[in-house]
Amino acid sequence: MFEGTFETRTRDTSTKRHRLESVRVHCGMSGYWCPENQWWRAHRRSARLANPKIVIRSETDADQGVVGEVIIAAFTALQVSNHTEQLTIEALRAANAPAVSLVADVDGLVIGHIAFSPLAISHGTQDRYGLGPVSVLPRFRRRDVGKALMREGLTRLNDMGAQGCCLVGHPDYHKRFGFKNIPGLPVEGVPQEVYFALSFGGHTQRGTVVIHEGFKADDGNAARGGTAKRA
């Protein structure tokens, strides 16, 4: 049996700073044992929570209920939201519209969601997609979950042969992914300054954008292909 005292660096979640702690450890034939509240096991668990492994995967039917809860939680505190984003996803699903629908998964827990659905341009251009909404549980924000969902979704669209993607969003956020404000690509009822487009392969986008009816879903409005109800 060996006994010793070691110094370890742990992160204080309340102050977000690291601190040194001295821990008494006993080493026997069966391995390490720490009397101070099983320090090693607690330390490994704390490390996993601080740096969770995030997996971006396709949404399944089993995810749909929790995805609605994630969307509601993500937009509840946002004053710019009309709080019907979950209805939009339900309506798009009912119409079988999403071409790409992804979730962010941490140890089986769905913490984020993104979807891309086809849209049309007035002169007949095909293979353009609308993004929205992007949702991340509040406690997992600022961990690049939204960025990972965006990048994987755009990669899949590109691999499908899509010519471009459009969205309504904040310029400071979406420009980092290559989205630009294009004056020649208006959407009826949407201010030009918040509407952005991204082209794949240098394809120029021009014309009036016609969005899917699912994007217009709200509490009293049934989208084509099914009726959306609040989750």
How confident is the prediction along the chain (231 residues), in pLDDT tens digits per residue? 444 444 445 555 555 555 545 444 444 444 444 444 444 454 455 445 556 789 999 999 999 999 999 999 999 877 667 778 899 999 999 999 999 999 999 999 999 999 999 988 887 777 889 998 899 999 999 899 999 999 999 999 999 999 999 998 887 888 899 998 888 888 877 888 888 999 998 777 778 888 888 887 764 443 333 332 222
H or E element, residue 75: helix 64-75
**Distance between CA atoms of 31 and 34, rounded to whole angstroms?**
10
Location of each CATH 3.40.630.30 domain in the chain = 55-216
**Distance between CA atoms of 101 and 99, rounded to whole angstroms?**
7
Question: Is the CA virtual torsion 192, 119, 117, 153 positive or negative?
Answer: negative
pLDDT of residue 78: 77
pLDDT of residue 50: 57
pLDDT of residue 149: 97
pLDDT of residue 36: 45
Q: Are 45 and 11 in contact (CB under 8 A)?
A: no
pLDDT of residue 35: 45
Look at the chain and count its residues. 231
pLDDT of residue 224: 37
**Distance between CA atoms of 108 and 18, rounded to whole angstroms?**
29
SS3 225: coil
pLDDT of residue 120: 85
CATH topology of domain 55-216: Aminopeptidase (3.40.630)
